[in-house]
Amino acid sequence: MKRGRESAAKSLVLLACAGILLGSAGVGLAAPAAALSAAEARHLLVRSGTAATPAEIDALIPLSREAAVETILESAADAAATPPPAWIENWVPPRMKELSPEERKLVRRLNRERGLELRAWWMQEMVTTPTPITEVMTLFWHNHFTSSLRKVKAPVLLYRQNRLLRREALGNFARLLKAVARDPAMLIYLDGAKNRKGAPNENFARELFELFTLGEGHYRETDVKEAARAFTGWGIDRRTAAFSFRRQWHDGGDKTVLSSNGPLDGDDVIETLLEQPQTAVFIVEKLWRHFISEKPDRVEVRRLARLFRESGYEIKPLLAALFASDAFWAPENRGRLIKSPVDYIVGTVRLFNLPVSDYRDLARLSRRLGQDLFNPPNVKGWPGGTDWIVAASLLDRQAMAERVTGGRRAQGAQTVAMGGPKKRQAERARRFDDWLASQGAAWQGAEAIALLLLPVSPVDVEILDRNASGALLRQLVLDPAYQLK
């Protein structure tokens, strides 16, 4: 039996806050010997991806925790499988000042259309990728090294940045940081292209310290000012939109940044930041909040940060250690993170193999739910957590679930992945019956299906029958616990 939407929102907030208060449990490495339970396999798949299908769970069950983690991480790719939009090739930056008002208007309209197409491309890649961990980490870095179409106004540059983030998604953080500092989209977004000798722009330097490496309280204001001088001359070639260093704009004088001094340039500043133990701590804490819980364990964070630095900032070994920690597997840390709009939409489509007629609709729905790809709200990115479930977005989530399941209260949701507005509710509801019938015998029980769909016990659904049914599936998708991972 379902309660009202207000009750659902309250239940969801209480569940999430309970996890934040409980925090993480345990330190050290988990025992490697035992094979995974179905619940453990689901937990690993959902946290490292967006969904856990019965087939994926069945494939991991015979493995130990370490072997399962290795299987997921070693499958990661460094390039998208979905071909990019055709206009990506042979793009030439428009010279807006040389265009007429009508021509500028046309360019802006074209950019809006291409921006939506770019979001749809990424949505398609997330839904269809054979390696979900790749897209999870690409999105993680997109929210760390933020840039937006609103400011950059060039979809091609955001695509190129996305390609960079994917290439190093599980690669090397030091290499990624250096490449992002030269990335044209970032240079436009944080005004690095305007940074020149005699008039240094501090925007990039400030976010480099505060949001990309050290975090607040671990640097001085003078460090930001001196670092801004070091990055003078870093710009963009207007003809190609590629990185360009203009020596005549660079301040070659002596500077002091943290522990370094001399005629520092941007690369020297980045190396100085990578030498600081706090940089590794900052990144590990952020990954902890993303994959484990809202309250990092300080002892474990420092252990993992030390491994991170000693590896030369290799990301994949860090993730392996993070996923091997007792805290990651602790039952009290399951179901304590709230699904982002992308988690919710992509995970639902992947889990039930829903047909998608137009991926632009998924992109629009994600924007409506509060996560507009390639357009984070500000330089700090999406805050996540309980911010994902404000009243308006929760209503839209429930409207989407109603439409998916063939319910009657579907107004407000985009027409996505459900066969279009003319499809009758009964047809959508029957899809769940057909999906359940296609699963193996191990997934025909009511408890097994509840375990598959929810990380914790349902809030509003009382399981009375031993056997699963399409009706039970529909109830579980509408349960507040389905919003958690």
Q: Mind listing the pLDDT tens digit for each residue in 362-375?
A: 999 999 999 999 99
> Which residue reads 């042979």 in tokens?
90
Mean pLDDT for the chain overall: 91
Q: Cα separation of 329 and 327, whole Å?
A: 5
The pLDDT of residue 71: 98
The pLDDT of residue 427: 75
The pLDDT of residue 419: 46
| pLDDT tops 70 at residue 209 | yes
The pLDDT of residue 33: 60
The pLDDT of residue 9: 46
Per the model's pLDDT, the better-predicted residue between 197 and 29 turns out to be: 197
What is the pLDDT confidence band of residue 1, given thresholds at 50, 70 and 90? very low
The pLDDT of residue 13: 43
| pLDDT tops 50 at residue 19 | no
Neighbours of 328 (CB within 10 A): 25
| pLDDT tops 70 at residue 425 | no
Which residues are CB-neighbours of 8 under 8 A, at least 6 positions away? 2, 394, 398, 459, 460, 480
| pLDDT tops 60 at residue 416 | no
The pLDDT of residue 407: 66
- 94-98, 209-213, 342-346, 444-448, range with the lowest pLDDT: 94-98
What is the pLDDT confidence band of residue 394, given thresholds at 50, 70 and 90? confident
The pLDDT of residue 423: 52
What is the pLDDT confidence band of residue 345, given thresholds at 50, 70 and 90? very high
Q: What is the pLDDT of residues 136-148, one digit of tens each?
A: 999 999 999 999 9
| pLDDT tops 80 at residue 234 | yes
What is the pLDDT confidence band of residue 424, given thresholds at 50, 70 and 90? low
- 32-41, 225-234, 464-473, range with the lowest pLDDT: 32-41
| pLDDT tops 80 at residue 355 | yes
Q: Cα separation of 385 and 276, whole Å?
A: 29
The pLDDT of residue 63: 98
The pLDDT of residue 91: 94
Q: Cα separation of 53 and 36, whole Å?
A: 15
